[in-house]
Amino acid sequence: MLIKQIKSADTLILRQQILLPNSDIKTCIFEGDDDKSTVHFAAIKAGTIVGILSIFQRSDPSISNKKGFQLRAMAVAAEERGKGLGLQLLSAAEKHAVNNNADYIWANAKSDAVEFYRKAGYQIDTKVFDIAPVGPHQKIIKYFNKPAK
């Protein structure tokens, strides 16, 4: 499986199909998608994008004096789930964050996906909140150990 950077527009089909299936494609365009500091990753199989993950240079509002990156819009095609693509995408995003001096990486994850993140070393906030129209979410976070300067 090839993991590579793509343009934000190339994420929209999977964003709509998997994350926002009853929404207009314009709803799948996020503020900051085309910022210079935003990166979009894809898992590509036989020339087709089968997984996506976007990472934004954006700190969690509840954490001060630390540099954070936010994960958004992770999606893997149903027929490709359970094959490690999510972990490969997550690894690419984490590497990008570390290479850009991040102290941590975080997301508002769907509650039914938090075990995936827990297994990947993320801390899970027990507070559940709703993001309409997607449903229940929980905050996840992973801190990076940085060498002393």
pLDDT at 142: 96
- The contacts of residue 108 (CB under 8 Å, 6+ apart) are 129, 131, 137, 138, 139, 140
Q: Which CATH superfamily is domain 2-143 in?
A: Gcn5-related N-acetyltransferase (GNAT) (3.40.630.30)
pLDDT at 64: 81
Q: CA-CA distance, 24 to 37, in Å (whole number)?
A: 26
Q: CA-CA distance, 59 to 147, in Å (whole number)?
A: 20
Grouped pLDDT means (10 residues each) for the chain, 149 residues: 94 92 89 96 95 96 90 94 94 96 95 94 94 89 73
